[in-house]
Chains A and B, each alone.
Chain A
Amino acid sequence: MTATTAVRDERRLMEGSEAMVEAAIAAGCRFFAGYPMTPFTELLEHFARRLPEEGGVCINAESELEAVGMAWGALATGARAATGSTGQGLSLMQESFSEITLAELPLVVFNMARGQSDYFQATRGGGHGDYRHIVLAPIDIAEAVELTQLAFHLADRWRSPVLIYGDYLLAHVTEAVSVTPFSVPALPSKEWAVDGSLGGTGRSRSISPLGLGKHGHPGPGIERHLRAIAGKLADIEREEQRVEHAYTDDAETVVVAFGTPARFVRYVVHQLRADGEKVGYVRPISLWPFPSAVVADASAGARVVATFELSAGQMIDDVRLAVLGRAPVVRLGGISTDGSGFGVGALLDAEVVRDRILALHRGGPEAELPPLPVNERG
């Protein structure tokens, strides 16, 4: 299946929310249901405006529970469909994410998070049961346009949910971007989708998280189904790691960061390199599967590996698992937010990031870092 639609390929000023919606539509998304919540709300607004123009449907659902349920139904018909919220709203949807993964439906989820403390929720499979789903974390709007289209492709390719992890900055900053169609290989048609046409034929279809079919064609059953899902997730873990890194061959200090905060880290590391400091960075683009091999390689010759994440420390667990003791792993980030709790705090400042990386680079793993800056503006 290929996504085709009229694409606005000229560069124009768009806020991230609008760009992601245009990218979703370019990828063939025709159904969206969501419940407003800052900083995700503008995605819902743009979908509400744009989907009807494209012959699609956007529902302002009465709750997050219903939003994800509606997307579930739309997906079952073979349509490309998505939902989204902030991490708080996604907490309410986790039961469905779990079962949608087990039902093998290609859901795309937008998390415009309040900071980065939804890392565990996004990467651990926040609901019940044995599952994870792909998580892609764009660094800027141009990459968000690309990864949004990729998300719909990967969701269909693997018949498994894909989450786009963004934040306030990604959703609300305005940049000049063009929504260029993303070229992907064709996928098989969705034979599994229901359209009602096989009723009464003895071959009617069933979309079930339990691997249960019908009398006469009973499906694999629960145990074999769950094992097949586990096998598929292992394949995804092997094949879908995405990562950007620089200077890791000889870096003594390696900083790991994702999403929009990584933009600050990348900028500062390039600056420091220009000054002759042996620092490098790794930016996981896929948070799950985590690019463990690249982080491991980067840590091989490093004196210290640091994470810069806007949380009390969540991705650091994955970094430690990848580094496996080859180097000390320390935190450069921390909780940092504005007065509304939207995750835009005083840590997001190139000078502050530079001071912290430099302090670590000069002082080594035991270095005393500057105190976390405090948001004084409310």
Chain B
Amino acid sequence: MTTSQPAGPVLDSDAAPEGARKIADLKPDLLLTGEHNLCPGCGEPLAVRVYLEALQELGVSRETVMVAGIGCYTMFTGTVDLDLVQALHGRAPSVATGIKRMLPDKVVFTLQGDGDMVNEGLQEVLHTAARGERVTCILLNNGVFGETGGHMTATSVLGQRTKSSLEGRDAEYHGYPILIGDLVSRLQGAAYVARGSVHNAGAVARTKRMLRRAFETQLAGDGFSFVEVLTMCPTGWFIPTADGPDYMHETLGEVHVMGELKVDGMVKTTEELHAENVRKQHEVEAELERGGVDL
């Protein structure tokens, strides 16, 4: 990554500039503190920001129960200001099911990683989706066991180097990655399925819209909703932090293609998502050129 050094004096400060209107806060309101102990360059806090903002914008902060899986993101269970139940590794969707059946008018969602959801608890999310359970499952997919220090998961892409696939994931030896969003989208009970990403600001904004739509699907009682979010894990990928977004876009993002996989019962193919992505990226770039993305 090469960037030219910007010109001019340092302007930033720790106080609001005079005559300016604040348009975005340090942290989402539903986070009790912005501090956390996740690694530099981690993508998970970005996903946490947008699902919290989506809930707040929908006005359901006081009608929501979160179920947390086990992974790095579990750290946020102590700082997310939502009623919360900690589940076992992989088991959040069934816990969410029990909560939703007792509290059918509340928003109930899970936060899980790929190790949690696609390795340990694959049957849980599939069955919950097939049941059409009116819950939302959020997957933070970085293709690696981050918390244990960089091991292969069921979503690691071919060629990906991990501590348990040292020469890169080899289909002959390690098998193929699971495209969980695609699997879930084929289940009749799944009403809304999307795969977002946090590799740049446009993707973050788009992911937030997906999360809103997923929660809206739940509120409308339309069935199971699912948002997968690709997140950077430079520590588990053994790359410099600043290389994370591009690395993710070019490796994980090429296999786990970003987009809305299922809307109103219509399932999209990978090819259709690719084409849609190119168009959306052009729109976002144009938006940024004009001076900002829609918040």
Contact = CB atoms under 8 A, between A and B. Distances in A.
A and B directly contacting (CB within 8 A) = yes
Contacts of A59: 97, 101
Contacts of B91: 65-66, 69, 72, 96
Contacts of B65: 76-77, 194-196
Nearest to B101: A57
Contacts of B29: 200
Contact of A66 (B61, B83, B107, B127): B127
A196 B80 CA distance: 13
B102 A199 contact: no
Given A202-B32, A206-B77, A216-B32, A70 B85 contact: no
Given A206-B86, A215-B32, A200 B98 contact: no
Given A69-B98, A73-B96, A194-B65, A199 B77 contact: no
A205 interface: yes
B102 A31 contact: yes
Contact of A201 (B81, B84, B99): B81
Nearest to A105: B85
Q: Which of A66, A99, A208 has the most CB of B within 10 A?
A: A66
Given A196-B103, A197-B63, A199-B64, A65 B94 contact: yes
Interface in B249-277: none
Given A199-B63, A207-B86, A70 B95 contact: yes
Given A63-B123, A196-B107, A73 B97 contact: yes
A118 B194 CA distance: 45
Interface string B68-82: 000000000111111
A66 B97 CA distance: 9
The size bracket of the interface on B is 35 or more
A218 B95 CA distance: 23
Contact of A70 (B55, B88, B98, B107): B98
Contacts of A66: 91, 93-94, 97, 123-124, 127
Given A196-B106, A199-B64, A81 B83 contact: no
A322 interface: no
Interface in A185-212: 194-202, 204-210, 212
A199 B103 contact: no
A352 B112 CA distance: 56
B84 A206 contact: yes
A103 interface: yes
A202 B158 CA distance: 44
Given A69-B88, A199-B64, A79 B83 contact: no
B83 A218 contact: no
B97 A200 contact: no
B56 interface: yes
A196 B83 contact: yes
A69 B79 CA distance: 24
The size bracket of the interface on A is 35 or more
A264 B83 CA distance: 51
A208 B77 contact: yes
A201 B56 CA distance: 12
Contacts of B85: 72-73, 76, 194, 206-207
Contacts of B98: 31, 33, 69-77, 81
A359 interface: no
A69 B124 contact: yes
Nearest to B100: A73
B136 to A, nearest CB: 13
A214 B101 contact: no
Contact of B84 (A74, A202, A204): A204
Nearest to B97: A70
Nearest to A74: B98
B99 A99 contact: no
A181 interface: no
Nearest to B107: A196
A243 interface: no
Interface string A153-192: 0000000000000000000000000000000000000000
A208 B86 contact: yes
Given A103-B86, A212-B78, A69 B94 contact: yes
A351 interface: no
A349 interface: no
A195 B100 CA distance: 10
B94 A214 contact: no
Interface of A: 30-31, 33, 57, 59, 61-63, 65-77, 79, 81, 95-96, 99, 103, 194-202, 204-210, 212-216, 218
30 contacts: A31-B98, A31-B101, A31-B102, A62-B123, A62-B127, A63-B123, A67-B94, A68-B94, A69-B97, A70-B97, A70-B98, A71-B98, A72-B94, A73-B95, A73-B97, A74-B101, A81-B98, A95-B88, A194-B83, A196-B83, A196-B106, A196-B107, A199-B82, A200-B82, A204-B81, A204-B83, A206-B77, A208-B86, A214-B81, A215-B32
Q: List the 6 shortest-distance A-B pairs measured between CB atoms, nearest first.
A: A73-B98, A69-B94, A200-B61, A74-B98, A215-B32, A70-B98
Interface of B: 29-30, 32-33, 55-56, 61-65, 67, 77-88, 91, 93-103, 106-107, 123-124, 127
Given A69-B94, A196-B64, A204-B80, 18 more contacts: A66-B94, A66-B127, A70-B95, A73-B102, A77-B102, A194-B84, A196-B62, A196-B63, A196-B65, A198-B83, A199-B62, A199-B64, A200-B56, A205-B83, A206-B77, A206-B84, A208-B77, A208-B86
